[in-house]
């Protein structure tokens, strides 16, 4: 693999129309990896590069692996350190002192003559392959995509950022971005996306020409620039191009998972990286996706002490299953069934275990067809739950399908939310409510969850998140889109900074680089805001630009401090400028917390005047922390107030409407609002 660009002639077809998605969508990510591989290796088969290693004479020492990890630029050292933490006795571990010594230089001292052989030996193992992908995503892919989304860029722009950060590192990338912003505004700043990307690619070319190894700029000039000029901002297939006179094509969206070298119909591992769901998770670190991530040291675990429990894997449309391997942790299934389904509702049994003893179960000679495979445990082998290091499904897949979290064709989907959630109490404590609201939220099984701030009390330190929130609402953290409240700002009192909130939620708190962000689902545009910082111009400017570029018919927003409340805190004017911007953009729904009760308002304007074209506010501060009781003043457009019940909000959306419900912890529907049509 060479980091220097390879001359390319690119011909692009854009006949397929598709809704924009992120480069982190598995299909788009696969396309990105294949395009990069043809430029660097004259091959679509990027998964064949795990064992690649050579010194290409660019002053960076050894270059190796799927992303060109270099012994002289620190990323190879970090990779081997990470891998050794997972597999201590690996062939590369003994070279760590030498890698530390040569870091920052092109020296091979202490590495030759055995390092390249050790790399190739390690690359033959799934653990080292998984480690390479982990470090690629942590160091390069994740940061570049997050920054690109924050800048309002679609898939091509995200790819341009990714390619730049791989070649030039974080500091080089930041320099390129700064130069581009001197010439053009990002879409998030109100600029034109094509003009900004032109400026970014111009700056990229200048940066490349500073190094002899990168002075050939054709990977920009005849690839990314061509995509841009053809208007293919989402890298939609079919794609066709040529490198060194050799033609390459991606006719249809590739499926992530098995390598593209697998012949059609061959038995291949088809579960790796596929979407997975489960009946429950023991905690937020033991989620269903860990059973299909290919990492031998991560696992899914169900809640303890309850039967039945299940793990479901979406294999894609038209899957055929011939073999399944289940690698159990100490908490194994004594009795379970393997089942397959075309629709996720009607299940056909493939195999059944009645006397399991843990370890690895291998089922061969299976003949099943369907989209979903389920491991359905009916009797635990221990007092704990069910826990799988890996669930590996082999067979073939006939095509690709939308993600199972996509709403159905009619646009109907459900969201569950609440604010003011986790008191400092445990499930066994009398009166502790946040475990009950979490159980109700999970029972509704929504497309995703939202929080309206004050997720953790009292000062929301990281140990509080880990000791309380994580054990209740943290069970579905990976499906939660949170916002902070005032208690999150108490973590760093001197600076009023939500440090632990960001630390606990990670990328979920800042998916676009800031503690405010937006995302689309179905025909809805969701805006998640930080009302602690409504006085900061940066968030207001971002919101204006975000609403201006929104193309969805319906808009919902949520933040902690409500403009209208009949509770003890009352109306909070800090939210009024935000309401005015949301109203002008035709927003349908605003959700808030802060006051600890439930309240639903009729549509109204920011000045409190009733208006059928105004915004519906629902206040949901009944997520688990002590209720405040009745306030002194009932606001004039308040239609329903419930002061003494804990529970969650259930929001039912379609392409053109929404309905809200207040569901108590016992499952009783305590209030149902009207069905409102989108403006």
Query: Which is catalytic among the residues 24, 30, 40, 339?
Result: 40
Other beta carbons less than 10 A from residue 365's beta carbon: 7
Q: Choose among 391, 125, 135: nearest CA to 270.
A: 391
Q: Choose among 34, 189, 95, 101: nearest CA to 541.
A: 189
- How would DSSP label each residue in 370-394? SSEEEEEEEEESSSS--EEEEEEEE
Asked if residue 145 lies in contact with residue 105, where contact means CB atoms within 8 angstroms, the answer is no
CA distances (Å), origin 269, targets 358, 391, 496:
22, 10, 49
Other beta carbons less than 10 A from residue 203's beta carbon: 20
CA atoms within 13 A on the CB side of 257: 28
**Neighbour-count burial for 366-390, b at 16+ CB within 10 Å, e otherwise:** bebebbbbbbbbbebbbebbbbbbb
Annotated catalytic residue 40: yes
Q: Is the dihedral of CA 591, 595, 599, 600 positive or negative?
A: negative
Q: How many residues does the chain have?
A: 679
Q: Choose among 596, 564, 592, 548: nearest CA to 423.
A: 596
Residue the block writes with tokens 């998605």: 21
Asked if residue 39 lies in contact with residue 167, where contact means CB atoms within 8 angstroms, the answer is no
CA distances (Å), origin 493, targets 388, 423, 459, 500, 535:
41, 19, 9, 12, 18
Query: Which is catalytic among the residues 55, 58, 103, 470?
Result: 58
Q: How far is it, in rounded angstroms, from Cα 482 to Cα 470?
A: 13
Annotated catalytic residue 75: no
Q: Choose among 346, 338, 305: nearest CA to 322.
A: 338
CA distances (Å), origin 208, targets 42, 172, 175, 220, 287:
20, 10, 12, 10, 41
Active site residues: 40, 58
């Amino acid at each position: 693999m060479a980091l220097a660009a390879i001359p390319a002639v690119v011909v692009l077809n854009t006949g397929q129309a598709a809704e924009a998605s992120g480069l982190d969508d598995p299909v788009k990510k696969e396309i990105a990896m294949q395009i990069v591989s043809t430029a660097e290796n004259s091959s679509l088969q990027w998964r064949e590069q795990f064992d690649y290693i050579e010194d290409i004479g660019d002053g960076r020492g050894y270059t190796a692996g799927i992303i060109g990890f270099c012994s002289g630029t620190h990323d190879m050292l970090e990779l081997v350190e990470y891998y050794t933490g997972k597999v201590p006795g690996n062939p590369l571990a003994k070279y760590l002192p030498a890698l530390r010594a040569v870091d920052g230089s092109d020296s091979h001292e202490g590495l030759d003559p055995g390092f390249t052989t050790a790399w190739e030996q390690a690359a033959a193992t799934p653990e080292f392959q998984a480690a390479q992908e982990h470090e690629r995503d942590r160091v390069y892919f994740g940061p570049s995509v997050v920054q690109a989304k924050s800048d309002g860029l679609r898939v091509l722009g995200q790819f341009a950022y990714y390619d730049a950060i791989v070649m030039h590192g974080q500091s080089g990338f930041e320099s390129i971005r700064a130069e581009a912003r001197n010439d053009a505004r990002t879409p998030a700043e109100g600029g034109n996306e094509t003009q900004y990307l032109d400026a970014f690619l111009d700056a990229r070319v200048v940066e490349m020409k500073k190094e002899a190894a990168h002075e050939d700029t054709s990977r920009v000039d005849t690839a990314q620039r061509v995509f841009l000029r053809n208007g293919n901002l989402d890298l939609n297939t079919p794609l066709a191009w040529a490198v060194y006179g050799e033609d390459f094509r991606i006719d249809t969206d590739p499926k992530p998972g098995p390598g593209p070298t697998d012949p059609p119909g061959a038995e291949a591992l088809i579960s790796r990286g596929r979407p997975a769901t489960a009946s429950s998770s023991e905690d937020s670190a033991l989620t269903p996706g860990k059973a299909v991530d290919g990492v031998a040291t991560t696992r899914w675990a169900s809640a303890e002490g309850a039967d039945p429990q299940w793990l479901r894997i979406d294999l894609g449309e038209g899957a055929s299953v011939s073999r399944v391997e289940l690698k159990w942790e100490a908490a194994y299934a004594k009795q379970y069934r393997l089942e397959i389904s075309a629709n996720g509702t009607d299940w056909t049994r493939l195999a059944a275990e009645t006397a399991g003893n843990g370890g690895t179960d291998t089922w061969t000679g299976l003949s099943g067809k369907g989209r979903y495979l389920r491991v359905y445990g009916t009797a635990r082998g221990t007092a704990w739950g069910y826990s799988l290091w890996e669930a590996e499904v082999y067979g073939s897949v006939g095509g690709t399908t939308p993600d199972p979290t996509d709403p159905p064709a009619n646009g109907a989907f459900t969201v569950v939310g609440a604010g003011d959630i986790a008191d400092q109490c445990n499930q066994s404590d009398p009166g502790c409510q946040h475990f009950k609201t979490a159980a109700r939220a999970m029972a509704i099984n929504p497309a995703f969850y939202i929080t309206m701030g004050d997720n953790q009390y009292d000062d929301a330190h990281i140990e509080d998140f880990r000791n309380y929130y994580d054990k209740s609402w943290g069970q579905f953290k990976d499906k939660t889109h949170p916002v902070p409240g005032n208690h999150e700002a108490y973590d760093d009192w001197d600076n009023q900074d939500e440090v632990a909130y960001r630390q606990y939620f990670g990328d979920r708190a800042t998916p676009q680089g800031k503690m405010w962000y937006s995302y689309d689902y179905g025909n809805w545009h969701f805006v998640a805001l930080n009302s602690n910082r409504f006085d900061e111009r940066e968030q207001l400017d971002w919101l204006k630009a975000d609403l201006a570029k929104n193309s969805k018919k319906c808009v919902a927003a949520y933040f902690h401090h409500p403009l209208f409340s009949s509770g003890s805190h009352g109306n909070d004017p800090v939210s009024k400028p935000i309401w005015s911007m949301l109203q002008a953009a035709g927003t349908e729904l605003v959700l808030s917390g802060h006051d600890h009760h439930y309240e639903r308002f009729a549509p109204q304007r920011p000045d409190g005047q009733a208006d059928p074209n105004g915004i519906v506010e629902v206040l949901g501060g009944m997520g688990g922390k002590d209720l405040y009781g009745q306030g002194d003043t009932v606001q004039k457009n308040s239609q329903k107030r419930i002061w003494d019940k804990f529970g969650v909000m259930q929001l039912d959306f379609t392409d053109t409407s929404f309905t809200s419900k207040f569901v108590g912890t016992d499952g009783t529907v305590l209030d149902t609002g009207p069905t409102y049509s989108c403006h």
